[in-house]
């Protein structure tokens, strides 16, 4: 199983980059930079490319609505170039709260847009003249929608690779099925290995039936909070604010992907309670309402033997890459957690 680090988009990036340099030395395989309504991920990935030499780098993830498909492809090719072929493009739909609330772009057609974006990106990387007549994207733009002067163009530069790996962040059954069909990697969040097949198994199998064999096996890239030791039980509480935010605050009632996921895991009543508190402005109470059991099931927090057991459960469920968030305020301790994880996972 590969190991990776998920960099926070809310803390000091230069410090995080220095940490990635240390993690590269101890064998961590990949570092991902997220993008929300924060600094953009791409500029930070360029900085990481200059600071590192072997670790794979990826966006984790950039929303498909905020860049044209061709710009996404150009950007990915650029980061792949400056990193000597170490980049993977992580994309996702994000959600209406960010896409409409921060970018002012309509959140529509997530499935269709994702498929079309992937198709256009791969045309660009193959240096084909980009021609796409889809429901959401038409390249070149038809005369009736523009000036009529646009002509098919191909990327001027020669990319390092004609196929840059694409990872899609997906939770819903249709999105997961699409991911298993067209992407090199799948990035779910709050992954509970013992429940994963019940929630996603049918979708993954349906997508796999349509999958192009040249894509290779699907890289299942799962994020998890990490703390290894005999005295880290208190770190469970450190992971609760994120769970409370996503389950309670990322979307309105009935339109929250993460609330739906917690419900499918069997925590429906808890998820409702967290959402009620969060939407009422009672954030601290919402955080306190997140049960230790839920955190423990989707994390790697505990003594070395316990973490080893959880790693086996993740592997058995099909996980191929673990992307961790070290629960530590000390850089040296965070690196130590990752070193231990590498020794257990490899």
Residue 162 shares a structural domain with residue 197: yes
Same domain, 200 and 256: no
Q: Considering only 136-140, 142-146, 311-315, which range has the smallest mean pLDDT?
A: 142-146
> For the residues of 41-73, what is the DSSP string, one character each?
HHHHHHHHHHH-SSSEEEES-EETTSS-HHHHH
CATH number of the domain residue 99 falls in: 3.20.20.30
| Residue ranges making up the domain that contains 215 | 2-225+301-345
pLDDT of amino acid 338:
97
Do 53 and 177 fall within a single domain?
A: yes
The answer for residues whose C-beta is within 8 angstroms of residue 301's C-beta and 6 or more apart is 225, 226, 227, 232, 233, 235, 236, 239, 295, 307, 327
User: What is the per-residue pLDDT across 170-228, written as a single tens digit (0 to 9) for each?
Assistant: 999 999 999 999 999 999 999 999 999 999 999 999 999 999 999 999 999 999 999 99
Same domain assignment for residues 213 and 305: yes
* 194, 167: one domain: yes
8 A C-beta contact, residue 33 and residue 48 = yes
Residues 209 and 168 in one domain: yes
Distance CA 191, CA 314 (A): 9
Residues 94 and 66 in one domain: yes
Question: Is residue 127 predicted with pLDDT exceeding 80?
Answer: yes
Count of domains for the chain:
2
Contacts of 288 (CB under 8 A, 6+ apart): 240
Same-domain check for residues 143 and 95: yes
- At 15 the pLDDT is 85
**Angle CA 293–298–299, to nearest 5:** 95
Is 124 in the same domain as 253?
no
Residues 97 and 174 both lie in one domain: yes
Residues 7 and 51 placed together within one structural domain of the fold: yes
């Amino acid at each position: 199983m590969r190991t990776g680090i998920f960099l926070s988009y809310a803390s000091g990036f230069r410090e995080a980059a220095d940490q990635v340099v240390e993690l590269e030395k101890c064998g961590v395989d990949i570092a991902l930079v997220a993008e929300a309504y924060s600094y953009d991920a791409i500029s930070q990935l360029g900085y990481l490319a200059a600071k590192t030499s072997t670790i794979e780098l990826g966006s984790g993830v950039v929303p498909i609505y905020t860049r044209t498909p061709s710009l996404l492809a150009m950007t990915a090719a650029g980061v792949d170039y400056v990193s000597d072929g170490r980049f993977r493009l992580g994309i996702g739909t994000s959600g209406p709260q960010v896409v409409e609330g921060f970018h002012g772009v309509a959140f529509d057609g997530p499935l269709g847009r994702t498929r079309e974006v992937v198709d256009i990106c791969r045309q660009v990387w193959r240096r084909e003249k980009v021609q796409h007549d889809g429901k959401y994207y038409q390249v070149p733009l038809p005369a009736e929608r523009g000036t009529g002067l646009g002509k098919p163009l191909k990327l001027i530069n020669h990319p390092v690779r004609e196929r840059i790996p694409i990872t899609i962040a997906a939770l819903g059954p249709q999105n997961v099925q699409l991911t298993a069909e067209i992407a090199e990697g799948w990035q779910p969040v709050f992954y509970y290995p013992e429940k994963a097949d019940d929630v996603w198994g049918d979708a993954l199998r349906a997508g796999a039936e349509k999958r192009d064999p040249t894509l290779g096996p699907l890289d299942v890239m799962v994020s998890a909070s990490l703390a290894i030791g005999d005295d880290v039980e208190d770190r469970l509480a450190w992971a609760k604010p994120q769970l409370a935010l996503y389950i309670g605050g990322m979307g309105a009632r009935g339109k929250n992907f993460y609330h739906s996921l917690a419900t499918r895991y069997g925590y429906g009543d808890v998820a409702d309670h967290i959402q009620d508190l969060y939407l009422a402005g009672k954030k601290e109470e919402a955080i306190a309402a997140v049960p230790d059991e839920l955190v423990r099931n989707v994390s790697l927090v505990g003594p070395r033997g316990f973490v080893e057991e959880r790693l086996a459960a993740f592997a058995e469920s099909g996980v191929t890459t673990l992307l961790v968030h070290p629960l530590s305020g000390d850089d040296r301790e965070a690196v130590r957690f990752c070193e231990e994880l590498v020794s257990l996972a490899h």
